[in-house]
Amino acid sequence: MRKLLALFIAATIAIVACATSYVEVTGTNVRLRLEPNLSGAIYKDSKGAPIYPAKGEKLECLGESGDFYKVSFKGKQLYISKQFSRVAQPAAKGDFKKPAAAEKVKTSPLPEGKPTKADRKQAPKATSKATPKAVVVTGKDVRLRATASLKGAIIKDAKGNNLHPDKGQRLVCTGESGDFYKVVFNGITAYISKQYTQPVE
C-alpha cells in the first residue's frame, strides 16, 4: 500500500513539475509522435513530410509518459523523446514564443554538384592562349593525319608513301583540336600531334 502511494505521489509531482515548465528541444530533426513510443505515428504535414521542431525551440510541457514528454506543438498534443529534449523552468512568459527564423532547422539538402577543394585542384585551368600562327616540327618522320586523332588516316603521296615534314620545318597553323594542330603542308591541310611540334609566332 505504501509503495503504491509513493508511486502515485512521485507521478503526480512529475506531472505537476512538467505542467509548470517547458520542454526545450536539444536535437535536430527530432520527430514528434502521436503516441509515447517509438512505434507511434510520426507527426507530418498534409504532403506526408515530417514536421520537426527547431533545435532550441521551447514547447509547452503537458506531462510525461515513460521515455517521452507530452508537449503542445502547433496546437497539437504530441510526444517527444526525452533523449532529444530537456525540461526546465521558464524564466518568463515569452519562453513559449517560436524561435527566430535564424534558429530554424534547414531540412533541405545541400545543392548537389558543388565542387570541393579536391575537384578544383583536379579541374584543368582555363587558358586564354590563342592558336599559334605557325608550328615548328621537333620530331623526325612525324606523321600527318586526315583527322585530329591517332586513329585518323595517315596522309600519303600518290605512290602510297607516308608524307613527313622535315624536322625543324615551319608549318602554317590554321587551328587546333585536342592534342593536334591543324596545319598546311605542301598545300595539303592535315593534323599533326602537338607532342612533336613547337608553336611559334
Given the DSSP bridges, would you call strands 188-193 and 85-88 parallel, antiparallel or unpaired?
unpaired
C-alpha 61/C-alpha 20 separation (Å) is 8
What residue type is 146 in one-letter code?
Answer: A
89 or 173, higher pLDDT: 173
- Nearest Cα to 21, choosing from 79, 71, 75? 71
77 or 11, higher pLDDT: 77
Given a cut of 70, is residue 35 above it in pLDDT? Answer: yes
- Write the pLDDT tens digit of every residue in 127-158: 557 889 999 999 999 999 999 999 999 999 88
Q: Is the dihedral of CA 68, 70, 72, 76 positive or negative?
A: positive
- Write the pLDDT tens digit of every residue in 64-74: 889 999 999 98
Residue with cell 530537456: 86
pLDDT value of residue 118: 58
